[in-house]
Amino acid sequence: MISLLGMVLGVVALIVVLSVMNGFEEQLRDRILSVVPHGYIDGPNKKLSSWSTLIDQTEHNDHVVAAAPYIDGNIMLSRPGLVRGAQLHAIDPRYEVNVSSIEDKMISGNLSDLQPGQNNIVIGEILSRFLGVYKGDHITVILPRVTVTLFGLVPRVKRFRVSGIFQVGADLDSNTVFIHLSDGQKLFQMGTDVKGLRVQFDDLFFSQEYLQQLLPSFPPGTSTTDWTQTQGTLFQAVKMEKTMISLLLLVIVAIAAFNIVSILTMMVADKRSDIAVLRTMGASPKSIMSIFIIQGISIGSAGIILGILIGIPLALNVGDIVHWIENQLGAHIFNPNVYFISRIPSVLEWGDIILIAFCGFFLSALATIYPSLRAAKVQPADALRYE
């Protein structure tokens, strides 16, 4: 029973924790990749001419959902007494709504308020709070470029009015701003050119392959970047964290398997005379081994099955369970004023269940080898000498 409960505890812990990790990963993917396009196609020397024609050609590809022009660059945002670095994206709202859900993330103003020549800017919610600017306020954009004047080198500076604030619920809220494409062309002195196209595909996991298919239709020297290069480090970190936590929790299963070793070893010592009697009645060492192997695997399998039966409903309802505990205690585990989420997400993947069951079964089978070998080596004459 002790070994059984240990296995149940290990399997339940693995299922619930991996499901929660999957939930966090999905939240990140949905929040970030709903705003960040799946791929970028940058023109030669970061300049792309005749971009409207290229958009039409790109959207004729079966795997392309939409494409939009863009210009981006690192900037400094300045307010009296405050300076903050950010990533600026110059976009055309008419195209952008097809490759990004930023319009749906607006909590103040509209993306369509970005009109050519009006010097409007849309900023993230965290950035807005840090700088203390809200809709209607003005903010200064400083480019890390200089203009040569009679008075020497002067940094390129432009004053913008905050026309909207967005909230994605991720790091983008603290370092991303949007302006209209025509304002960006003037700011970066691009003329009528753009830096490249932002592209959305029907399957984000094949973005790199689809980008290579589009490359021949663009001018020589064009380069491509997909989301795994711009955001891949974050998702790799989440994946690594999930792997490490899985290995740590697998120790619980290993301890349960070690309990099987201990209990079967004690049982072999306690049943030496019974084993000897079976041997004298004609039982072979192989059949004696099979008795203890079957017993150990039965304990492990029962623990795995019970753990899965308990773990699956627990993983599916962990958000509701934690919410109920929060209501009972009157406290928040995830304070919505601090974190991007207020409820524990959970996504159950059957691949994880199969892997957990396989690992538990393998460790249980491995745990039976030593005790069963000891049982097979019991000599009837030695065991029954004092009977």
On the CB side of 201, CA atoms within 13 Å amount to 19
- Alpha carbons 252 and 255: distance in angstroms, whole number: 5
| CA neighbor of 301 nearest in space, from 269, 271, 260, 245 | 260
What phi and psi, each to the nearest 5 degrees, are found at residue 167? Answer: -140, 110
Question: What are the residues whose beta carbons fall under 8 Å from the beta carbon of 30, sequence distance 6 or more?
Answer: none
Q: What is the pLDDT along the chain (387 residues), one digit of tens a residue?
A: 877 888 888 888 888 888 888 887 777 776 666 677 888 889 888 888 888 888 888 888 888 888 999 998 888 898 888 888 888 999 998 888 888 888 888 888 888 889 888 899 999 988 898 888 989 899 998 887 766 665 556 677 889 999 999 988 777 888 889 999 999 988 888 888 999 998 988 887 788 888 888 888 888 888 888 877 776 666 676 677 777 777 777 777 777 777 778 888 888 877 778 888 887 888 888 888 888 888 888 888 888 899 999 989 998 888 888 878 777 777 766 665 555 566 777 888 888 888 888 888 888 888 888 888 888 887 776 656 656
* Concatenated DSSP letters of 130-160: HHT--TT-EEEEEEEEEEEETTEEEEEEEEE
- Alpha carbons 52 and 192: distance in angstroms, whole number: 11
- What's the pTM value of the predicted model, to 2 decimals? 0.65
* Type of residue numbered 255: I
- Alpha carbons 268 and 285: distance in angstroms, whole number: 13
